[in-house]
Amino acid sequence: MNLFDVYPLIPVTLVKAHGSLLWDEKGQEYLDLYGGHAVISIGHTHPHYVKRIKDQLDQMGFYSNSIQIPIQQELASKLGELSGLPDYQLFLVNSGAEANENAIKLASFATGKSGFIAFTGSFHGRTSGAVALTDNPKIVAPCNERTDFHILPWNDLDAVEEVLKSNSIAGIIIEGIQGVGGIQVPSPEFLQGLSSLSKKYEAKLILDEVQSGFGRTGKFFAYQWARGVRPDIITMAKGMGNGFPIGGVLIAPEFKASYGLLGTTFGGNHLACAASLGVLEVLEKENLQAKAQELGDKLMKELGAIPGIVEVRGIGLMIGIDLDRDAGPVRSELVNKYHIFTGSAAGKQTIRLLPPLSVEWNELNSFLVALKEILSN
């Protein structure tokens, strides 16, 4: 049987990883400044994380949500503490798309409405509702097309209010910082405006923190950089499991749960909760959130001074670098000659950096040296 060939692959086979380093089958070392799409948050194979998962697997790996699973409450409590949102409620799923899908459903249930607003450059996942709110027609199948879902211009509150006036909008969904769209940071005024407009027109504000959350920007969630924004729903995944599949929906206290409203077979299983608790414990113990902010600030300052770089965007360790040329060949040279992994973005001239939050300055510095060298040619 062949694989369904949908991924354009980097011709590298990795067999081992630790911290921010990766090794191929010939023993060649690589530096990981991409974290496999922002997934590796605390570093590859962190010993505490590995032990957490192994211990849980020895004890028991899975039973469905038809029994009590105390480790779910343990995870919820820790998330409440570290995010500063102890009054929110947690629903556990397996991925980012699934988290957004449930967020959309909740907003629709709560308001009795079916329309949604998303923004230019958005990516919310590939399931039917999430993909219909993603600004990329190539991945939207005819069966996903929704006439009451609106993709509106970024930073245009008037356009949002115009659509909200129809009184058919259940929710507004926006990324804490746009990832796939090329690290676009929403202005605090934009987020604050969406927050008050959503209240005025009884629509729910959904913050998609799948990529930008879990400490990557120096706050637990990126939207927390904007004062006075209180989302109704927050979604997360990627860094939440450091590679173990898990996602979550944080739900404001006003939402009342009822039996059977949402559900999942695998979501919130013992093993996934242990993995995510392992992540949170390391984040806290090693102060990775503050470190991410500090290293990100320093890196962005240095990047801004390199000839050939047109613009640097981002917060903490979520960074977009716009070059004066196509990023593709530069990223290839980074892998082939300097053995450094970086990410691409929607814009052809953009390099996206999403390293593990445990990355060291000397590792980031080796990237600076390599990029300077490449861009000077």
Ligand X SMILES: *Cc1c(COP(=O)(O)O)cnc(C)c1O
Residues lying near ligand X in the complex (CB under 6 A) are found at 95-97, 100, 123-125, 175, 179, 208, 210-211, 237-238
Closest approach of ligand X to the CB of residue 128, in Å? 12
Strand order through the sheet with 21-24: 14-18, 21-24, 29-32, 340-341
| Nearest to ligand X of 350, 370 (CB atom) | 350
| Nearest to ligand X of 8, 27 (CB atom) | 8
| Nearest to ligand X of 71, 93 (CB atom) | 93
Closest approach of ligand X to the CB of residue 241, in Å? 10
| Nearest to ligand X of 53, 236 (CB atom) | 236
| Nearest to ligand X of 237, 272 (CB atom) | 237
| Nearest to ligand X of 125, 186 (CB atom) | 125
Encode the chain in three state secondary structure. Answer: CCCCCCCCCCCCCEEEEEECEEEECCCCEEEECCHHHHCCCCCECCHHHHHHHHHHHHHCCCCCCCCCCHHHHHHHHHHHHHHCCCCCEEEEECCHHHHHHHHHHHHHHHHCCCEEEEECCCCCCCCHHHHHCCCCHHHCCHHHCCCCEEEECCCCHHHHHHHHCCCCEEEEEEECCECCCCCECCCHHHHHHHHHHHHHCCCEEEEECCCCCCCCCCCCCHHHHCCCCCCCEEEECHHHCCCCCCEEEEECCCCCCCCCCCCCCCCCCHHHHHHHHHHHHHHHHCCHHHHHHHHHHHHHHHHHCCCCEEEEEEECCEEEEEECCCHHHHHHHHHHCCCEECECCCCCCEEEECCCCCCCHHHHHHHHHHHHHHHCC
CB-CB contact of 323 with 309 (8 Å): yes
Closest approach of ligand X to the CB of residue 177, in Å? 9
CB-CB contact of 20 with 359 (8 Å): yes
| Nearest to ligand X of 43, 96 (CB atom) | 96
Closest approach of ligand X to the CB of residue 307, in Å? 31
Establish how many alpha carbons lie within 13 A of residue 68's alpha carbon, considering only the half-sphere containing its beta carbon: 3
| Nearest to ligand X of 173, 371 (CB atom) | 173
Place of tokens 């965007």: 313
Closest approach of ligand X to the CB of residue 269, in Å? 16
Closest approach of ligand X to the CB of residue 51, in Å? 25
121 phi/psi in degrees, rounded to 5 = 85, 0
**Joined tokens for residue 287:** 């102060």
Closest approach of ligand X to the CB of residue 289, in Å? 19
Closest approach of ligand X to the CB of residue 344, in Å? 13
| Nearest to ligand X of 240, 280 (CB atom) | 240
Closest approach of ligand X to the CB of residue 194, in Å? 16
| Nearest to ligand X of 208, 232 (CB atom) | 208
C-beta nearest to ligand X: residue:
96
Closest approach of ligand X to the CB of residue 330, in Å? 23
CB-CB contact of 368 with 306 (8 Å): yes
